[in-house]
Amino acid sequence: MPPTCGLSPLVASLIFGSEATMAEQVLCTQCDKPETQCACDRYCWVCKGQYGIRLCEDGLYYCPDCREACDVRVVDSRGA
């Protein structure tokens, strides 16, 4: 069975589908700042891991394994 991020496909498509099409800068959901200015404690919101953590298109931080399992993209250097 493939890894899952714990969201039903319908919920995931509603969250990630709308977020992925936005041309606006992606901000941290805790401090409303881009990744380069965010001073929040960084850990994966799914597994609480602290290795390879990056801000993703939904404004949450993920580790590499959970990014792959949840099929979310890392925010690029411009914050989009």
Q: Is residue 75 part of a domain?
A: no
Q: Is residue 78 part of a domain?
A: no
Q: Is residue 2 part of a domain?
A: no
Terminal Cα-to-Cα distance of the chain (whole angstroms): 32
Q: Is residue 34 part of a domain?
A: yes
| pLDDT value for 11 | 47
| pLDDT value for 20 | 47
Q: Is residue 76 part of a domain?
A: no
| Cα–Cα distance, 47 to 18 (Å, whole number) | 24
Q: pLDDT tier at 77 (50, 70, 90 boundaries)?
A: low
pTM as predicted: 0.68
Q: Which residue has the higher pLDDT, 21 or 46?
A: 46
Q: How far is CA 44 from CA 9, 23, 41, 66, in A?
A: 20, 24, 10, 8
Q: Is residue 4 part of a domain?
A: no
Q: Is the four-CA dihedral 28, 33, 35, 38 of positive or negative sign?
A: negative
Contact present, 16 and 58 (Cβ < 8 Å): yes
Report pLDDT digits (tens) over 22-56.
457 899 999 999 999 999 999 999 999 999 999 99
What φ, ψ does residue 41 adopt, rounded to 5°? Answer: -65, 130
Number of domains in the chain: 1
